[in-house]
Amino acid sequence: MNPRFHSVLEPNKTLRVTTDIGARKAPQVVWNEGMTDADDAVRVENPSAFWFATAADVTWFADPNDGRYPQHTTDWSVTASWLERAVDSLARGAWEQDGDDSWLIVSDYPGNLDRDGRFIIESLLWAHPIEMDPWDNELDDGRHRSWGLWNYDPNILIPIRSRLLQDSTIDFDPEFTPKNLMHELRDDHIADAKSAPGRIPDAVANRSARYLEQLRRLADS
């Protein structure tokens, strides 16, 4: 166990910000196990399942607040710079393993994150990623985080985790799940992976090589 990646702070420290869902009066505890105390590394869940998008790559980019008070009030220059460095490491496959956990090291450290910035970074990469595939038109969660980042810079790359790849790794308990249903779901996942290349824009495919490789592996399984 690498001590660098384990916080000395008490669990559930009292930093609080809001989630993408619900009113601002409903706070959410900031996860302190998803980043190092020095804010120079962030945990990433299933790193090979991420693809990367700018505002031009999606159909759902819009202000979820309709011009009202924004959900997040971070220093976007620092948060965006931090995310850019993390995404660069993620796209290059430059994460470090600590047991079963994967960590992205931020080089050329851009500065300390504020509370909302820490929440945004942690949630995008570890605790609560935006989850969909390039051919999906509807977003379940993540509009406030993506709006804040792309409103600051529409060209910044936001990491998005593949719902297809995540779903394909679910282990169903055979005691409670009919065998024919497990086979049907597996067949659906493989079929979706086989049809994926024709549904992914070239710009997304060119910057998301590891995501495409995981889709190919699923298609061939």
Q: Where are the alpha helices (DSSP H) in 25-178?
A: 76-91, 115-122, 143-152, 163-168
What is the per-residue pLDDT across 74-91, written as a single tens digit (0 to 9) for each? 899 999 999 999 999 999
**Is the pLDDT reported for residue 72 higher than 90?**
no
Are 104 and 94 contacting, i.e. CB atoms less than 8 angstroms apart? yes
93 pLDDT band, cuts 50/70/90, is very high
Closest CA to 81 of 43, 122, 104, 112: 112
Is residue 108 left, alpha or beta, with left meaning phi > 0 and alpha meaning psi from -120 to 50? Answer: left
What is the per-residue pLDDT across 96-143, written as a single tens digit (0 to 9) for each? 988 888 999 887 777 788 888 998 999 999 989 999 999 998 887 888
Are 57 and 203 contacting, i.e. CB atoms less than 8 angstroms apart? yes
pTM equals 0.80
**Is the pLDDT reported for residue 206 higher than 60?**
yes
**Is the pLDDT reported for residue 176 higher than 50?**
yes
In the chain, where the domains are located: 3-162
